[in-house]
């Protein structure tokens, strides 16, 4: 390589940490689309195995939906509350090996018409609901109300629950359903419980003990210092670029522009780097140097084989295949976040609002995820977020897949396309392969720990 070529390459990609990583910018083992938990975990494992990775994200930050903002000294969960919980010791040890987790225990509260009820449904809830004080009294009340629901269905000639309302009534009876399930669920899904399929609520666990711990898992907590610490640790020494949309035209190559790429070093933060439009232009230049000039409308989706041997895709699977069979359905969430001049607004991290007339589903008070005891009052202000569930439309963030029969059938068609890809690429790609993983690429609701486990599993099966 001539001195001129070397200077031009160094001009194209800036490594923000010293000493610079000696990575050939024209050839990666993996191009990983998406820097959420799946993509970041996969990249971490690949990097440890000696693989060269480039992680891109269309957002201006890393971390996907677990990204946190810092406001008033509080780590704000920008995309909704995220509480890590698992009984998988391997996963727990893995994430704690990246950054330590605190002792947060999820004990949400439900607010119905100004009255508060503990969640999940346990002896505290039953005392608040009926005034019962023993498990035997609570069991008797539940049996009575379940029997009434089953009798009503039988009188109407119904043997098995036909919808979510009938299913919930048969599981927990009318009082709990009307006060704590109905309104909240209808706000979440945007339709009456009588129109929702019964399988959405396969079970509603009840506990005959005074225990407000929402999860039964052996381990739970929040990363000390917030989720950005976890993502930064996973992506340490991994090259990343933010503000890069896999499906947006890269534009003409211009070697005068510089990609805001970086490899985060020890103690460094990946967040805030990789802004603006220079990144796509620089990637176009790299593709041109690789012998694949990019047309004005070409995207990384079309040209990635000129950059990497393998693709790991974590975005919406229907978008990857240009919505060939139509769009998959999602639910999305809108947030209203505000700072308040009080050290403690609601006394816990999560309060669900279960009546239909309250438009939001819950209020999150973020400081309670990481501040305990005297720490709460020592921080004089607080930050809350109101969550509003709504129908997904193009341009909004897809949060939850709508896994009804129609959408699951549609997903199977896209999964069949994914199984054949990249053999169907028009760009010659000998030896190239693609892995699809995560909530959007697999059209599957995942908690965080199973996402990490899935990335570990996929890398072990197909990553080497």
**Tokens (6 digits) for 417:** 């396309």
Q: Maximum distance among all alpha carbons in the chain?
A: 87
Contacts of 368 (CB under 8 A, 6+ apart): 104, 347, 348, 349, 376
Instruction: Determine whether 387 is an active site residue.
Output: yes
Q: Cα–Cα distance between 159 and 168 in angstroms, integer?
A: 15
Catalytic residue among 152, 174, 331, 386: 331
Given 57, 166, 302, 387, the catalytic residue? 387
Contact 270, 231 (CB under 8 A): yes
| DSSP class of 199 | G
User: Is the alpha carbon torsion for 89, 364, 180, 196 positive or negative?
Assistant: negative
Residues 292 and 303: beta-carbon distance below 8 Å: yes
Between the CA of residue 400 and those of 130, 134, 322, what are the distances in Å?
A: 34, 38, 20
Residue for token pair 């510089």: 258
324 is catalytic: no
Residue 445 falls in the annotated catalytic set: yes
Q: Which of 47, 52, 310, 362 is catalytic?
A: 362
Distance CA 346, CA 365 (A): 7
Q: Is 439 a catalytic residue?
A: no
Q: How far apart are CA 168 and CA 177, in angstroms?
A: 6
The active-site residue, picked from 160, 203, 341, 405, is 203
Catalytic: 362? yes
Spatial strand order of the sheet with 115-118 comes to 115-118, 109-112, 350-353, 362-365, 382-391, 330-340, 400-401
Residue among 324, 419, 445, 457 flagged as catalytic: 445
| DSSP result, 285-329 | HHHHHTT-PPPTT--HHHHGGGTEEEEEE-S-HHHHTTTTT-PPP
Q: Which of 207, 310, 432, 439 is catalytic?
A: 207
Active site residue 229: no
Active-site residue set: 203, 207, 331, 362, 387, 445, 447
């Amino acid at each position: 390589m001539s001195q001129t070529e070397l200077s031009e390459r160094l001009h194209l990609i800036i490594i923000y940490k010293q000493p610079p990583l000696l990575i050939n910018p024209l050839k990666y083992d993996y191009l990983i689309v998406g820097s959420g938990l799946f993509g970041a975990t996969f990249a971490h494992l690949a990097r440890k195995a000696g693989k060269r990775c480039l992680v891109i994200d269309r957002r201006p930050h890393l971390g996907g939906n677990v990204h946190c903002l810092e406001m008033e000294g509080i780590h704000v969960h920008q995309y909704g509350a995220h509480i890590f919980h698992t009984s998988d010791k391997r996963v727990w040890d893995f994430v704690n090996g990246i950054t330590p987790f605190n002792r947060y225990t999820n004990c949400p509260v439900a607010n119905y018409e100004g009255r508060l009820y503990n969640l999940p449904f346990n002896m505290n809830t039953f005392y608040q609901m009926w005034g019962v004080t023993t498990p035997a009294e609570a069991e008797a009340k539940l049996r009575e109300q379940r029997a009434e629901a089953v009798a009503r269905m039988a009188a109407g000639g119904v043997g098995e629950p036909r919808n979510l309302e009938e299913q919930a009534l048969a599981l927990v009876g009318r009082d709990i359903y009307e006060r704590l399930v109905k309104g909240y669920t209808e706000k979440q899904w945007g339709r009456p419980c009588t129109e929702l399929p019964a399988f959405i609520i396969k079970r509603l666990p009840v506990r005959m003990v005074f225990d407000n711990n929402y999860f039964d898992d052996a381990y739970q907590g929040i990363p000390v210092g917030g989720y950005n610490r976890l993502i930064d640790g996973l992506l340490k020494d991994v090259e990343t670029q933010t503000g890069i949309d896999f499906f947006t035209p890269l534009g003409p190559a211009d070697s005068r522009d510089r990609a805001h790429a970086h490899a985060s070093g020890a103690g460094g933060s990946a967040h805030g780097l990789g802004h603006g439009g220079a990144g796509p232009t620089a990637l176009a230049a790299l593709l041109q140097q690789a012998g694949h000039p990019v047309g004005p409308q070409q995207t990384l989706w079309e040209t990635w084989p000129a950059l990497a041997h393998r693709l790991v895709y974590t975005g919406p699977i229907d978008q990857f295949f240009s919505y060939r069979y139509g769009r998959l359905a999602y639910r999305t969430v809108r947030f209203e976040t505000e700072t308040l001049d009080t050290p403690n607004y609601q006394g816990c991290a999560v309060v669900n609002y279960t009546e239909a007339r309250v438009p939001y589903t819950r209020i999150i008070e973020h400081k309670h995820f990481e501040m305990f005891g005297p720490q709460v009052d020592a921080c004089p202000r607080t930050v809350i977020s109101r969550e509003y569930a709504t129908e997904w439309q193009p341009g909004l963030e897809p949060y939850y897949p709508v896994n009804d029969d129609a959408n699951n059938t549609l997903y199977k068609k896209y999964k069949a396309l994914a199984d054949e890809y990249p053999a169907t690429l028009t760009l010659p790609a000998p030896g190239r392969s693609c892995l699809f993983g995560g909530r959007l690429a697999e059209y599957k609701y995942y908690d965080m720990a199973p996402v990490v486990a899935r990335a570990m599993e996929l890398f072990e099966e197909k990553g080497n």
